[in-house]
Structure 1
Amino acid sequence: MDTADFNYYMSLILIVGIIVTLLILWVKQKKRIENLEKQLASAENKIHEQQLSEMDYKLNPHLFKNVLNAIQSHAYQTYHSIDSLSSVLDYILYESKKKYVTPHQEVNFALSLVEIYRIKLSPLFDLQVKKKIRDNEPLFNQRVMAPLLSIDLIENAFKHADIQSQDSFISITFEFSENIFSLTVANKISSKTPLKKERQGVGSDILVRRLDVIYRDNYKLDRFVEDEVYIAHLKIDLLEHKAKMLATR
Structure 2
Amino acid sequence: MTEETKKEIISAFIMPKGLGKVIHIVAWGILFGIPFFFTGRESETVSIESYMRFVIVPLSFMFVFYINYCILIPKYLFTRRLAEFFIANVVLIAFVMMTVHFLMGLLPEPEHIHHRDPHMKEEPPLRNIIGFFMGNAMLYVLVSGLSVAIRVTGNWYHTESMRRDLEKSRVEAELQNLKSQLNPHFLFNTLNNIYCLIAFSPDRAQGAVHDLSRLLRYVLYDSNQKYVPLEKELDFIRNYVELMRIRLPEHVSLDLQIDEQVKGGRMIAPLLFISLIENAFKHGVSNNQQSFIHIYITCAESLIHCRIENSFFPKNKLDKSGSGIGLVNLEKRLQLIYPSAYSFRYGQEGNMYIADLQIKTSEP
- TM-score, structure 1 normalization: 0.72
Question: Is 2:346 aligned against 1:219?
Answer: no
Equivalent in the alignment of 1:98:
225
Check whether the contact 1:188–1:228 (CA below 8 A) recurs between aligned residues. yes
Note the residue ranges of structure 2 that are not aligned, 5 or more in a row. 1-163
> 2: CA distance between counterparts of 1:164 and 1:203?
23
Question: Is 2:289 aligned against 1:162?
Answer: no
Choose between structure 1 and 2: higher helix proportion.
Answer: 2
Greater Cα shift, 52-61 or 102-111: 102-111
Matching residue's letter, 1:216: P
Change (3 A) 1:168 1:181: same
Check whether the contact 1:70–1:119 (CA below 8 A) recurs between aligned residues. no
Equivalent in the alignment of 1:130:
257
Corresponding residue to 1:189 among 292, 309, 312: 312
Corresponding residue to 1:176 among 280, 288, 299: 299
Q: Which has the larger radius of gyration?
A: 2
Question: Is 2:248 aligned against 1:121?
Answer: yes
Corresponding residue to 2:273 among 135, 138, 150: 150
CA RMSD in angstroms comes to 2.2
- Tell me the alpha carbon deviations over residues 8-28 of structure 1, each in whole angstroms, 9 at most, x when there is no partner: xxxxxxxxxxxxxxxxxxxxx
Check whether the contact 1:84–1:115 (CA below 8 A) recurs between aligned residues. no
Q: Which has the higher contact order (CA 8 A, sep 6+)?
A: 1
Change (3 A) 1:128 1:214: same
- Tell me the alpha carbon deviations over residues 88-135 of structure 1, each in whole angstroms, 9 at most, x when there is no partner: 111112111111112211111111111222223114420111111113
Write the mapping of 1:15-94 to structure 2, written as runs, cut at 5 A. 42-75=165-198, 76=202, 77-82=204-209, 84-94=211-221
Q: CA deviation at 1:160?
A: 0.7
Q: Extract structure 1 runs of 4+ deviating beyond 6 A.
A: none
Note the residue ranges of structure 1 that are not aligned, 5 or more in a row. 1-40, 243-249
Check whether the contact 2:196–2:247 (CA below 8 A) recurs between aligned residues. yes
Q: CA deviation at 1:218?
A: 0.3
Check whether the contact 2:189–2:321 (CA below 8 A) recurs between aligned residues. no
Check whether the contact 2:298–2:305 (CA below 8 A) recurs between aligned residues. yes
Q: CA deviation at 1:48?
A: 1.4
> 2: CA distance between counterparts of 1:59 and 1:175?
24
> 1: CA distance between counterparts of 2:240 and 2:285?
19
Equivalent in the alignment of 2:7:
none
Greater Cα shift, 84-93 or 225-234: 84-93
> 2: CA distance between counterparts of 1:198 and 1:170?
19
Work out the percentage of aligned pairs sharing the same amino acid.
Answer: 34
Check whether the contact 1:163–1:169 (CA below 8 A) recurs between aligned residues. no
